[in-house]
Structure 1
Amino acid sequence: MISSRRRLTLLIGLALLVLSPLVAAQPPTAVIAARASLAAWSDPLEALGTLRADESVTLSATVTETIAELTFEGGESVAAGELLVRLADDEQRADLRVAQALRDERRNAVNRLAQLQSRNLAPRADVEDARARLRQAEAQIQALEARLADTRIQAPFAGIVGFRNVSVGTLVTPGTELVTLDRLEVMKLDFTLPERALGQIQPGLALTATSAALPDTPFRGEIASIGTRIDPISRSITVRAELANPALALRPGMLMQVRLESAPREALVIPEEALIPQGQRQFVLTVQSDGEAYRVEEREVRIGARRAGEVEILEGLAENDLVVAHGTERVRDGQPTRLLGILDDDTTVPQLLRRSRDAAEVNG
């Protein structure tokens, strides 16, 4: 009588004999691969920053006088040195004419005394006193010209003037704000980063900034300078960047979202979906040529940083190695496989699957 264990063994053997041809007849599992390639890579840092004009000033009066002329309406571009506000200057001009007349009189006196002194008809001391009085008159003219210049408010640099909030005839005093002036072709962007990021940044590092007001328009710039002190409370450092603003779309005071591309390098990259995590370890299935067919081989890799849909490979793969990017759950180490295609910038998984279905319909 055959024992139960022996009977079970015979049944399993018969089942394997029956199923082996069926298993062997199954076609290799189809997969889609991607190629490990070198790509530009960086470790992103993100922050919030506030815009400042490249140059910004509020022009104010330095004397007490009434406004005689305004040459701007607000919002227009002005050139460096262009007159913006002229204060009443009749009194200053009259004083200047008096001083100029006194200068001319004393210059004539110096010339007469010099001629007499050359013929020994006037003491040398009189000539020196006359020249001193002439220098005094010339200094008085310089002071009056400076006072006259205080009545003319000019643009110290080219830029865009702000709103006009004063009118002709307004009495102004020293410190009265007359107009703002901003240079906007280049913007300064101030933001803070954690202290630990200090070793990842340096002047010249590229960045991209976006604003809620212009969400679809990225503005590119670079770090111009790094603060010299760490805030002891927040443990952060202030960084200043410069952004080009040729269309003048940015304005001082805007809140910007900043993204810095720190530690730029060339990295070996594969699609993130090719990873097979096993605890703390990461594996991929490489596609190996087996004559006219293919088979998969499991390989452990060490990964670095990740970004949308991609992962940096530090160890375990070489450039141009093929890895299974679609179908990892259907194949195992050493199993034969059929390669449907290789992903690239112009080819997607849906496109490859569609081509495979179309080919099967044609052949069927």
Structure 2
Amino acid sequence: MKITNFYIISIVALLGLSACNNQSADSETEVAIPVSVEDLKPSFIEQTINTTGTVTATQEATLTTEMGGRYYLATNPRTGKPFRLGDQVAKGQVIVKLEDEEYTNNLGLEAKELNLKISEQTYTKQKSLFDKGGVTQSELSNAEVSAVNARDSYALAKIQLEKMKVRAPFKGVITELPHFTAGTKVPSGTEVVSLMSYEQLQMEVNLPEKYINKVEQNQNVRVMNYTLPEDTLQGVVRELSPAISTETRTFKGKLSIENEALKLRPGMFVQAEIILDRRDSVIVIPKDVIVSNQRGKSVFIVQKGTAEQKQVTLGYEDQDKVEITSGLKTNDRLVVKGFETLRDRSKVKIIK
């Protein structure tokens, strides 16, 4: 019986010693987890509001004929061909011309121009004679009245003749150009061309009530469109409403967007970022490396081949990044890949 107990005790001792040896071996052969790190450097982050909307032209007009006449489309000096859809026009440029010989003859522009020259010459002569005492004040005044009347008559005739031309009221682009056969007579009031100016665009947005004391006029805006993934246009907050909608709990704003290259077109749906504030020389990290647990937010850094879990406090954030106001410092080696399986004090191997 004593011999049996001796064997049992010996076996238990050997098993215990073996377990200790295995545990020690496991500890010594702990596998280092491969991770990628990023050395933290001072950076910047902006506090923004993301919003969406449709951009519209700052100026648009549909031009109609003021007089009736035979229709002729003017030639675009840039192309040497008649104007067409999409052509750019300068302010004051003639797009459509009307012709009506009877109307033009009745204006008598040439006769009125000649009468103006004669009247002005007569007035100049009478004034010279008056200075020498050769004519009375009444005769000089009559000559002056005749010259003024001739000048007004000639100016009015030019205005009436100008109504036979349709000019661009602003620099813009032709967006509609109804077809009329050259020489066809069209009546007054006929719509002949539509223009838009969109070198600068505008956009109306609805902003959440909580930002009413943060959004201000002239704050910078970035504008993106899915058809222009590589281009970001700049703008500013131009107008803000002080009133909040009781139905949507939002307030209205108007954005002005620079579009000199005409990359955006009126009617496009775009995303805009209103920049409320910017912080420079701060620690900024990717959002997706942050681990959430019962104690709060944390990340992993590497020191001497070991992962250390650091509790962090968050500040400003944008779509992809977030500011760290406490918990990290410059030159910390932040784990950006492989952190999912880490624990505090895990052994790690840094890879690219």
TM-score w.r.t. the length of structure 2 is 0.75
1:43 has 2:57 as partner: no
Aligned partner of 2:99: which letter? A
User: 8 Å contact 1:68–1:88 — kept in the other structure?
Assistant: yes
For residue 317 of structure 1, report the CA deviation from its aligned partner.
0.8
3-state SS of paired residue (1:253): coil
Q: Which of 164, 169, 177 is residue 191 of structure 2 equivalent to?
A: 177
Q: 2:253 aligns with which of 233, 238, 253?
A: 238
1:244-255 superposed matches below 5 A: 244-246=259-261, 248-255=262-269
The answer to whether the aligner puts 1:339 opposite 2:349 as a matched pair is yes
Distance 1:229 1:148, change over 3 A: farther
Letter in 1 for 2:164: T
Number of equivalenced pairs: 324
- What residue number does 1:97 align with? 110
Name 2:137's counterpart in structure 1. Answer: 124
Q: Find the partner of 1:270 among 282, 285, 298.
A: 285
Q: Structure 1 25/190 Cα, relative in aligned 2: closer, same or farther at 3 Å? A: same
Question: Which segments of 5 or more consecutive residues in structure 1 lack a partner in the other structure?
Answer: 1-6, 342-346, 348-364
Q: What's the secondary structure of 1:40's corresponding residue?
A: strand
Please give the alpha-carbon distance, in whole angstroms, between the structure 1 residues aligned to 2:132 and 2:25: 137
Deviations along 1:196-217, whole A, 9 cap, x unmatched? 3341455251413214xx2645
Q: Which residue of 2 aligns with 1:155?
A: 168
Q: Distance in 2 between matches of 1:80 and 1:329?
A: 62
Report the 3-state secondary structure (helix = DSSP H, G, I; strand = E; otherwise coil) of the residue aligned with 1:87: strand
User: Which stretch has the larger CA shift, 25-34 or 234-243?
Assistant: 25-34
Q: Give 1:84 deviation, angstroms.
A: 1.3
Distance 2:148 2:256 in 1: 51
For the Cα contact (< 8 Å) 2:302–2:308, is it kept in 1? Answer: yes
Kindly indicate whether residue 138 of structure 2 is the aligned counterpart of residue 135 of structure 1: no
**From 45, 60, 74, the counterpart of 2:64:** 60
Rounded to whole Å, the distance in 2 between the matches of 1:125 and 1:239 is 62
Preserved CA contact (<8 Å) 1:41 1:265: yes
Is 2:331 aligned against 1:320?
Answer: yes
Cα displacement string for residues 127-150 of structure 1 (whole angstroms, at most 9, x for unaligned residues):
322322322222222222222222
1:197 aligns with 2:211: yes
C-alpha distance in 1 between matches for 2:216 and 2:326? 26
Q: Could you tell me which runs of 5 or more consecutive residues in structure 2 were left unpaired when the two chains were aligned.
A: 1-8, 75-81
Q: State the one-letter code of the partner of 1:238.
A: G
RMSD, matched Cα? 3.5
Q: Contact conserved, 1:195 with 1:230, CA < 8 A, in 2?
A: no
- 8 Å Cα contact 1:89/1:148 also seen in 2: no
Task: Report the counterpart of residue 302 of structure 1 in structure 2.
Answer: 313
Percent pairwise identity: 19
Task: Please name the residue that 1:81 is paired with.
Answer: 92
Alpha-carbon distance, 1:315 to partner: 0.6
| Corresponding residue for residue 4 of structure 1 | none
Residue identity matched to 2:68: E
| Contact 1:288 1:297 survives alignment (8 Å) | yes
Q: Do 1:69 and 1:85's aligned partners in 2 also have CA atoms closer than 8 Å?
A: yes
Partner residue, 1:286 = 301
Q: C-alpha distance in 1, partners of 2:334/2:127?
A: 102
* Distance verdict in 2 for CA 1:154–1:323, change over 3 Å: closer
